[in-house]
Amino acid sequence: MAGRWLSIVAFSMISARSPWSGIAAMVSATGLFIISDSMMKLVAHDLQSFQVLFMRGLFGLISCFGLVAVSGQLADLKGALHWRSIVRAVCETSATFFYMVALSNMPIADAIAIGQTAPLLVIIALCIIFRERIGPLRLILVCTGFLGAVLVAQPDGSGLSPAAIFAFLTAMAVSTRDLVARGVPTRIPPFVVTLMTTVILTLATGYATVTQEIWIAPQAWQWLTMAGSGFIVTIGQIAIFMSYRRAPASVVAPYYYSFTLWAVAAGYIVWREVPNTLALAGMALIVVSGLALLFIRAKRIEEAVA
């Protein structure tokens, strides 16, 4: 009975379409992701990297499976075995591995900022693979975004730091994930796709921690922290889904860049990290170029419809 009422409440919340509620859901989602990542970074200081990912993935898996059950989508689980769903999950898992290494060795705001070059990589891939015409203005904006990433990474005479390289690898894996996701059949519910991602991530990190690390017995507070992190990241995925259901993508997508603001705030509040002037300038370039690209895309869609 309780599950039925939860399903009804969730459905009514997702069905309501309001631009402002969609924006609020997107901003909330990015904030939830940063909170989850911050909790993971705190625990990773005393535990092994893959171990921490496994712990969060395990609790995320429990939360996600509960979500699928409550929403009445257990009958759709076979959709998780679609090859595009599996490839997307592998890309997401790779991105998580790379991001964890970057996050453990650089400020959270810097890791997030470099990772947000993923949409720029998607545009380049669309041009090279699918022969989509970029145009001079979009090309300039893409180059501006990458210049911003370089300012954040701030390579020295020996080149990029290993952490910055892993942050760029994160962006590459995320962009590949997004390209693959374009072809996932719409009949497969998003929650089911997310569940497959969580399953593969948990299995991969579990294997990695067993074969590559020595398990460190977590303390009670660390288990509780990762349980909270896994639950919060799942709620963040729900909020992302709700944002695109409540408002058009062209309205909510720009607010994905609130990631950077949340990351800077978390870095200062938790670790007293303050990005230097070059890093702040680079973050601004990434956000501005990304927003401008979204605006241009929205205008083209309007013109095509007209």
Domain ranges of the chain: 23-243+253-305
Q: For 202, what's the count of Cα atoms within 13 Å in the CB-facing half-sphere? A: 18
Mean per-residue pLDDT, 191-197: 87
Tell me, yes or no, if the pTM score tops 0.75. Answer: yes
pLDDT for position 73: 85
pLDDT for position 180: 84
* SS3 label, residue 46: coil
pLDDT tens digit string along 227-284? 999 999 888 877 876 776 677 665 676 777 788 889 989 999 999 888 889 989 999 9
H-helix or E-strand spanning residue 144: helix 136-153
Select the more confidently predicted residue: 50 or 116. 50
Residue 298 has pLDDT above 80, yes or no: no
Token digits of residue 141: 């904006």
Cβ neighbours of residue 257 closer than 8 Å, sequence gap 6 or more? 116, 286, 287, 290, 291
Band (158; pLDDT cuts 50, 70, 90): low
Local structure of residue 156 (DSSP, 8 states): B
Band (300; pLDDT cuts 50, 70, 90): low
Beta partners for residue 159, in sequence order: 156
pLDDT tens digit string along 90-129? 998 999 999 988 988 888 889 888 888 887 887 788 778 7
Cβ neighbours of residue 20 closer than 8 Å, sequence gap 6 or more? 247
Residue whose token pair is 């895309």: 297
Mean pLDDT of the chain: 83
Contact 110/152 with Cβ under 8 angstroms?
Answer: yes
pLDDT for position 146: 87
Looking at 8-12, 13-17, 76-80, 212-216, which range is the least confident one?
8-12
Q: Buried b / exposed e across 175-201, counting CB within 10 Å, b at 16+? A: bbbbbbbeebeeebbbbbbbbbbbbbb
How far is the CA of 211 from the CAs of 36, 48, 73, 121, in angstroms? 26, 12, 34, 33
Residue 86 CB neighbours (<10 A): 17
Rounded-to-integer distance, Cα 260 and Cα 268, Å: 12
Residue 271 CB neighbours (<10 A): 14
Residue whose token pair is 């705190």: 42
